[in-house]
């Protein structure tokens, strides 16, 4: 590590390294500390990042050697607070990029869910997600859905698939036949059982919709 110029690591790993007294020589070589996704200060990993910043600032004060701290985030509304925490000069070291910097305009729409029950609220949000999903797919666009946690990925996908099956719109979620079977072949190599299950359920649903359409055409 002493012979490298860039160290890419997690906050937890760097925390372990900087807490060991034998690695003082290594940490003294650092001149730039970049903290990506600095909004994680508000999450479970926040205390580790906070400790790293405090330890780095203390090192600067004790050794009188400059170490720049750069925090990056794409989802940080209270960036002034974080800048104060990082001891950033707001006039020279704080950079905020709003929608005017985007090459493609970004629009936002907020939809409120009034359900008090947690399960019903989740179901309502999934229904809104499905409606917006179909609205954009029918307009010829691709859609990417972000969820709060990794475990919600499969749950949300299953909910959207269920709505699609109920409304017989599963065929809208996959490309042409040749690409479908290519995707199935690629997914078969994955170790993710949930991913395989979702694709198989989707294909089965599409086959049911196709048979239904053929039956109706014959009538």
Residue 74 main-chain phi, psi, to 5 deg:
-105, -5
pLDDT in tens, 25-74: 777 888 999 999 999 998 889 999 999 999 999 888 888 888 999 999 98
Residue 200 domain boundaries:
118-218
Q: Higher confidence at residue 19 or residue 140?
A: 140
- The whole-angstrom separation of Cα 131 and Cα 150 is 22
CA 71 to each of CA 53, 64, 164: distance values in angstroms, whole numbers, following the listed order: 10, 21, 41
Of 55, 72, 101, the position where a domain reaches its end is: 101
CB neighbourhood size of 102 (10 A): 9
H or E segment to which residue 153 belongs: helix 151-166
**Total residues found in the chain within this entry:** 219
Residue in 65, 40, 62, 64 with CA at minimum distance from that of residue 51: 40
Same domain for 71 and 142, yes or no, is no
pLDDT value of position 68 = 93
Q: pLDDT value at position 217?
A: 46
User: Cα–Cα distance between 26 and 13 in angstroms, integer?
Assistant: 14
Q: How confident is the model at residue 214 (pLDDT cuts 50, 70, 90)?
A: very low
- What CATH number should be reported for the domain holding residue 85? 3.40.50.300
For 193-210, the pLDDT digits (tens) are 887 777 776 666 555 544
Widest pairwise Cα distance in the chain: 85
What's this model's pTM, rounded to 2 decimal places? 0.59
Secondary element (H or E) of residue 165: helix 151-166
CA-CA distances (angstroms) from residue 114 to 88, 108, 125, 149, 174? 40, 20, 10, 22, 33
The domain boundary residue, chosen from 101, 129, 154: 101
Read off the tokens for 210. 């196709």
CB contact set of 216 (below 8 Å; sequence gap of 6+): none
Q: How many domains does the chain have?
A: 2
Name the nearest CA neighbour of 14 among 65, 47, 49: 49
Q: Among 75, 101, 127, give the residue marking a domain's end.
A: 101
Question: Do residues 125 and 208 both lie within one domain?
Answer: yes
What is the tens place of the pLDDT at every residue in 43-56? 889 999 999 999 99
Higher pLDDT, 56 or 170: 56
Rounded Cα–Cα distance for residues 178 and 35 (Å): 43
Q: Would 112 be classed as within a structural domain?
A: no
Q: Are residues 65 and 20 in the same domain?
A: yes
pLDDT at 10 over 80: yes
């Amino acid at each position: 590590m002493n012979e490298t110029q860039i160290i890419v690591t997690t906050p937890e790993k760097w925390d372990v390294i900087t807490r060991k007294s034998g690695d003082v020589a290594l940490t003294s070589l650092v001149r730039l500390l970049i903290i990506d996704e600095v909004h994680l200060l508000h999450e479970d990993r926040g205390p580790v990042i906070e400790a790293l910043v405090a330890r780095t600032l203390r090192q600067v004060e004790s050794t009188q050697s400059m170490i720049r701290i750069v925090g990056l985030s794409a989802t940080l509304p209270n960036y002034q607070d974080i800048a104060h925490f990082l001891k950033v000069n707001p006039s020279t070291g704080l950079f905020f990029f709003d929608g005017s910097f985007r090459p493609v305009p970004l629009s936002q729409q907020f939809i409120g869910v009034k359900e008090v029950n947690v399960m019903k609220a989740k179901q309502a949000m999934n229904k809104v997600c499905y409606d917006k999903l179909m609205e954009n797919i029918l307009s010829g666009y691709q859609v990417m859905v972000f969820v709060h946690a990794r475990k919600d990925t499969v749950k949300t996908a299953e909910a959207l698939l269920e709505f699609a099956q109920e409304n017989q719109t599963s065929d809208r979620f996959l490309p042409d036949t040749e690409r479908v079977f290519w995707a199935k072949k690629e997914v078969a190599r994955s170790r993710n059982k949930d991913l395989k299950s979702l694709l198989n359920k989707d294909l089965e649903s599409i086959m049911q919709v196709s048979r239904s359409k053929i039956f109706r055409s014959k009538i």
